[in-house]
Amino acid sequence: MIVRIDVSPAVADHAKAAGYRNIEEYVEHLVAQNIAQKSSKSIRPQLSAGEWKEKFQDMLKHAEPGNPSVDDSRESMYVEREARILGETTSD
């Protein structure tokens, strides 16, 4: 693909000073660098299966054992609603 852009003499001078043979080579380098930076800013880093397993096992070693005591009964979830329906008030 051919793309034509106007480049200031300062940019051309910078490209030559940086060791590029021409402005095209310099622009290709900048585009490749930009793509590499954006792809490395992934939300989750790419791990191999072994690395993922190792990190997961490490997390399990440090996790608190057991399940916290949680009252998830219907009565506990809808206390305020039931009180409103029955005309009662709750004290928290």
Report how far apart the first and last C-alpha atoms of the chain are (Å, whole number). 70
Lookup: tokens for 66: 């057991």
What is the pLDDT, as a whole number, of residue 69? 78
Scanning the structure block, which residue is given the tokens 């310099």?
26
Report whether pLDDT(43) > 60: no
Q: Full-prediction pTM beyond 0.95?
A: no
Rounded mean pLDDT of 75-88?
Answer: 77
